[in-house]
């Protein structure tokens, strides 16, 4: 997976890119947005229930992304509203490289890596050791993860969020705290022989959970 490493290092150069958002919630992937009603998505041709992904989820096959037209696509909901989009395909090095490149070209850069119970917080590396230390930190973590039996997750964040918050953030958690409410994140996961790409809106999801909790804490 050395090619993946080269792509990751290339996208560490941060830039400002415009972010589209739907009036009802942050854009997740293409024309789909956080909070979109399940009933609307269920009407799309090819959608079928896929409770093996999550109860109430919808899926469809043969979707195109990053030069591959064989992605399976899943839609995850909470309370009838869209929260996450998942792409799934067979893993090979070239496909992983192209996928990372496609995410990068949409205005995202690496902020965090996870494998099992371990993590490499790129924001913290930059804060404590400087940008020049990112290469060795990311390279070492990736090599250890790919040589082991655990999965490897790359978390990529919008470049404009990184530009806005990196200097005042000591770690990834700080970055999320600093980010605007419409923050979007892409998780790219390598596990066994499968490549997953997840599109999420973490702050919108937290706000939804907080609202639900407050509604359940109504005194009587």
CA distances from 131 to 64, 163, 215, 220 (A): 34, 13, 44, 54
Q: What is the signed CA dihedral for 205, 198, 161, 104, rounded to 10 degrees? A: -170
Does 68 fall in a domain? no
pLDDT of 149: 73
Confidence of residue 179 (pLDDT cuts 50, 70, 90): very high
Could you count the other beta carbons within 10 Å of the beta carbon of residue 177?
A: 12
Per DSSP, the chain holds a count of helices (H) and strands (E) of: 8, 12
**Cα 53 from Cα 141, distance rounded (Å):** 29
**Cα 48 from Cα 57, distance rounded (Å):** 9
Write out pLDDT tens, residues 123-168. Answer: 999 999 999 999 999 999 999 998 887 799 999 999 999 999 988 9
Write out pLDDT tens, residues 62-84. Answer: 999 999 999 999 999 999 999 99
pLDDT of 19: 35
Does 56 fall in a domain? no
Strand order, beta sheet including 185-191: 48-49, 58-65, 68-78, 81-90, 194-200, 185-191, 152-158, 108-115, 118-121
pLDDT of 212: 60
Does 35 fall in a domain? no
- pTM to 2 decimal places: 0.85
Least-confidence region, from 86-95, 110-119, 200-209: 200-209
Does 44 fall in a domain? no
Write out pLDDT tens, residues 40-51. Answer: 999 999 999 999
Residue 209 has pLDDT above 50, yes or no: yes
Does 164 fall in a domain? yes
**Cα 121 from Cα 170, distance rounded (Å):** 10
Confidence of residue 99 (pLDDT cuts 50, 70, 90): very high
Q: What are phi and psi of 113, to 5 degrees?
A: -130, 145
Does 70 fall in a domain? no
Contact present, 89 and 68 (Cβ < 8 Å): yes
Name the range with the highest mean pLDDT among 22-36, 86-100, 139-153, 195-209: 86-100
Does 121 fall in a domain? yes
For residue 158, give its domain range. Answer: 2-25+83-213
Does 184 fall in a domain? yes
Give the total number of structural domains in the chain: 1
**Distance between terminal CA atoms of the chain?**
58
For range 15-36, the mean pLDDT: 70
Q: Over pLDDT 90: what percentage of the chain?
A: 77
Q: Over pLDDT 70: what percentage of the chain?
A: 83
**Cα 199 from Cα 80, distance rounded (Å):** 18
pLDDT of 167: 87
Q: How many residues does the chain have?
A: 220
């Amino acid at each position: 997976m050395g090619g993946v490493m080269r792509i990751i290092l290339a996208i560490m150069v941060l830039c400002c890119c415009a972010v589209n958002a739907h009036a009802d919630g942050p854009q997740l992937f293409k024309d789909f947005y956080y909070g979109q009603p399940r009933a609307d998505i269920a009407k799309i041709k090819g959608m079928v229930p896929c409770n093996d992904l999550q109860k109430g989820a919808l899926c469809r096959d043969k979707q195109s992304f990053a030069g591959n037209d064989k992605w399976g696509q899943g839609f995850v909901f909470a309370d009838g509203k869209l929260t996450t989009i998942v792409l799934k395909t067979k893993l090979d090095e070239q496909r992983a490289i192209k996928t990372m490149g496609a995410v990068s070209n949409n205005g995202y850069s690496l902020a965090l890596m996870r494998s099992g119970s371990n993590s490499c917080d790129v924001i913290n590396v930059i804060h404590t050791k400087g940008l020049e230390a990112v290469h060795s930190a990311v390279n070492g973590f990736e090599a250890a993860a790919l040589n082991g039996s655990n999965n490897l997750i790359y978390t990529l964040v919008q470049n404009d969020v990184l530009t806005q918050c990196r200097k005042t953030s000591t770690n990834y958690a700080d970055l999320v705290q600093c980010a605007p409410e419409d923050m979007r994140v892409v998780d790219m996961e390598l596990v066994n022989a499968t490549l997953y790409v997840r599109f999420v809106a973490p702050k919108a999801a937290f706000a939804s959970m907080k609202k639900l909790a407050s509604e359940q804490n109504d005194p009587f």
